[in-house]
Amino acid sequence: MTNNETIKLPGLKEFILLMTESVKETVGEGHSVEVNHVIKNNSIELDGLTILKSGERITPNIYLNPYYERYLTGVSIKELADEIIQIYNRADKEEKDPFPICFEFNEMKSCIIYRLVNYDKNRKLLQEVPHVYFMDLAITFHCLVKNNSQGIGTIRITNEHIKNWNIGIEDLKEIARINTPAIFPAVIQNMNDVILNILKNEMHVLPTNDDSSSCSASCGAFSQSTDQSGLSDEELFEAMPEGAGRYKTKSMYVISNNKGINGASCLLYPDVIKNLAEELKSDLYLLPSSIHEIIAVNAEDSMDKDTLREMVFDVNRTQVPEEDVLSDSVYFYSREHNTLTI
């Protein structure tokens, strides 16, 4: 392809128009096809396409930005449009129950939950939504409209919603304080147990005969053995690749919720951090692994706070998707004073 031809490729806005028209032509009458500009967590802006059949009230928001990248590599508009329609059709079949809730306060009250996001990274979004400032974070509020084996779905509560509902932020905060832990209870796992579960899951892909050449690269240090089922937990740790041993500590705990989604909100749950500190008889450092989980570290057994902060900063830049970053800070829980500080 010459430079002149490259210049003729449509930009993102033109691509979105072409995709919208292609999807409309395929789904035909009886469906509306719309594009919504969405501000996601940490001010990431995306363009989502929705297909809504007459009578439907809920439908997936399919983000077009990744499809544009694929289009630039040579995938045709028609192929991409067909993929989007397949996603819509699958979601339509999986959603057995019709959307049961009117977006009125009395109907939505039992579904109001909270989440934690980074304050500075979401300043634009926070102008439009009720929120509560919390250290370097913000508490935002959402209505849970789907919670089943296929996943969860939420609608972000905006300033317009609470104006129409004639309620204040303190009302939202109190309702969410009760609902969130009840709907998404906290789950605390020792880091050793988390690692062991990962190792044991990897063992399921190991070969069961002497031909170890078929073992995938993910088998790592296990590729020399054909029968791992009899290994003790300690032997599994010893089989870990060199360098992973730094994680062998009983002083680290992963805190999330039972869904593993937006589980950092457990930081707000009454007594979750307090009870863990009491059980360990220690102050805690709390590392914001992502919006989905927090890592609690026994303060007496850990590195100093500056080293932990450098580690969090590095992990956020190299391991965590931008949309999932919570904070670069390290929080400290004082068992004596029952306080949480940066």
Asked whether the predicted pLDDT for residue 205 surpasses 60, the reply is no
pLDDT at 60: 80
Q: Which pair of structure tokens corresponds to residue 297?
A: 């570290």
Give the C-alpha separation, 73 to 95, whole Å.
33
Average of per-residue pLDDT values in the chain: 82
Average pLDDT over residues 46-73: 87
Place 102 in a pLDDT band, splitting at 50, 70 and 90: low
- Residue-wise pLDDT tens digits, 266-295: 999 989 999 999 999 999 999 999 999 999
Query: Which position has the higher pLDDT, 311 or 146?
Result: 311
Place 133 in a pLDDT band, splitting at 50, 70 and 90: very high
pLDDT at 14: 93
CA 136 to chain centre: 19
Global confidence as pTM: 0.77
Place 233 in a pLDDT band, splitting at 50, 70 and 90: low
Give the C-alpha separation, 224 to 235, whole Å.
14
